[in-house]
Structure 1
Amino acid sequence: MCSVVVAEDHPVVLGALRVVLESLGYKSIHVTSSGVDVVPMIREHSPELVVLDLKLNGFGGLEVLERIRAIGLVCKVVIFTSADPEHYLMRCRRAGAMAFVSKSASMQHLQNAIKAVRSGYTYFPGTFAGNVGQSEAHRDERELIARLSTREMEIMLKLARGESNKHIALAMNLSHKTISTYKTRLMLKLGVSSLVALGALVKRNGLF
């Protein structure tokens, strides 16, 4: 059986992942908690499968997906995350993921997803409720978020978590000036005037 790269930073989740992967015959399991390490590990180990969380240190999972596609690395990616599928499922699909499984689902769903992907199928089960029952203001916010690029999403989440421009710049290998420019652009696009308001918007829309 070919190897698998797992990008996950929670020990309990990682333990459950190992059980599932070993039950499917995977013997060589390479683990990282940092998005920065995923592409180098794929290059080193040439895994058949990548199990990727979206909430990682350094690069977020979406940015990792786009880097995998841009470089032309060949691997099957299963997203296993607690991130809201309404904001992320279609983004992940467009970026090349073959499956999206919520951590709130049973591990059987993950097992089914891996089996499907391994056989050459995609696995995006069910649908989400979308805008049903939401206020007009809330729908407007979600539409604004949907228009953000992957890089803008990553920086928005880091800013909302209280990370400084300097820290974000170092983590994403960008200049301080670039992060400052993204911050200003995000404020304008989302119609917020402070980081406190940005954090409230992110929380209100279930992004963390």
Structure 2
Amino acid sequence: MIKLLIADDHAVVREGLKRILAETPDLVVAGEAGDGQEALDRVRAEAWDMVLLDISLPGMSGLDALKQLKRERPRLPVLVLSIYPEDQYAVRVLKAGASGYLTKDSAPDQLIAAIRKISLGRKFVSPYLAEKLAVDLATDTERPLHERLSDREYQVLCLIASGKTVKEIAAGLSLSVKTVSTYRIRILKKMNVKSNAELIHYALQRGLAE
């Protein structure tokens, strides 16, 4: 029996996952969390075999929650589920300690296969991501500019590219407007661009925007 905690801020998504997993007797959804802090609280309160974690959570982001989870429970497997394509976040979450990454449009049988594989202590990546990682390792080409960014800077970049204002980003990430503005300045410098328009153009070219 694999005891699962689902952390996603959308009740309809949690319900959908529960229905999919209910058809598999050895997978039991024993708890839910609507944000990153609640997920941490649930993990601290009881034992789990695995956490299914959304990358986009209100307040504490899924990426920040993942890092904290791995600091406190390094052996607890975490499968990240996201609306974002693998090019955006997969490598970052794997580096942060996730055991796998799946987009939310993946087939139910792929989700179940991922959970079972991870429960055996292995990593799960899609064939596409495995090929991408292999190509990256085999080539000596310079890394893309956005890979120079910290996780938080990258998160802000993606939100700017999706059309969010600094004020909206600050509210969504529970940060001050001044802090987000500082991140924006750092991003512009690291990316060697001068405006949001250039950032958005770069992000759209590389599929980093929603």
2:62 matched to which residue of 1? 61
Amino acid of the structure 2 residue aligned with 1:70? R
Tell whether 2:14 aligns with 1:14.
yes
Contact 1:2/1:48 (<8 A) preserved: yes
Give the C-alpha shift of residue 72 in structure 1: 4.1
Give the C-alpha shift of residue 173 in structure 1: 4.5
Which deviates more from structure 2 when the two are superposed, residues 56-65 or residues 110-119? 56-65
Contact 2:52/2:79 (<8 A) preserved: yes
1:133 matched to which residue of 2? none
Give the C-alpha shift of residue 159 in structure 1: 3.0
Change (3 A) 1:197 1:35: farther
Measure the CA separation in 2 of the matches of 1:102 and 1:166.
28
Give the C-alpha shift of residue 171 in structure 1: 4.5
Measure the CA separation in 1 of the matches of 2:156 and 2:38.
19
Amino acid of the structure 2 residue aligned with 1:60? S
Measure the CA separation in 1 of the matches of 2:109 and 2:166.
40
The number of residues matched between the two structures is 199
Contact 2:2/2:28 (<8 A) preserved: yes
Measure the CA separation in 2 of the matches of 1:106 and 1:13.
14
Give the C-alpha shift of residue 19 in structure 1: 2.1
Give the C-alpha shift of residue 83 in structure 1: 1.7
Give the C-alpha shift of residue 162 in structure 1: 4.1
Normalised by the size of structure 1, how large is the TM-score?
A: 0.78
Give the C-alpha shift of residue 113 in structure 1: 0.6
Amino acid of the structure 2 residue aligned with 1:8? D
2:191 matched to which residue of 1? 190
1:136 matched to which residue of 2? none
Measure the CA separation in 1 of the matches of 2:36 and 2:202.
25
> Quick one: percent identity of the two aligned structures?
28
Change (3 A) 1:27 1:8: closer
Unmatched 5+ residue regions in structure 2?
A: 133-140
Which deviates more from structure 2 when the two are superposed, residues 94-103 or residues 5-14? 5-14
Tell whether 2:9 aligns with 1:26.
no
| C-alpha RMSD of matched pairs (Å) | 2.9
Could you list the per-position Cα deviations for residues 40-94 of structure 1 after superposition, in whole angstroms to 9, with x for gaps in the alignment? 2322343221111222323332222222223445421011223221332222211
Normalised by the size of structure 2, how large is the TM-score?
A: 0.78
Measure the CA separation in 2 of the matches of 1:14 and 1:203.
30
1:134 matched to which residue of 2? none
Contact 1:159/1:195 (<8 A) preserved: yes
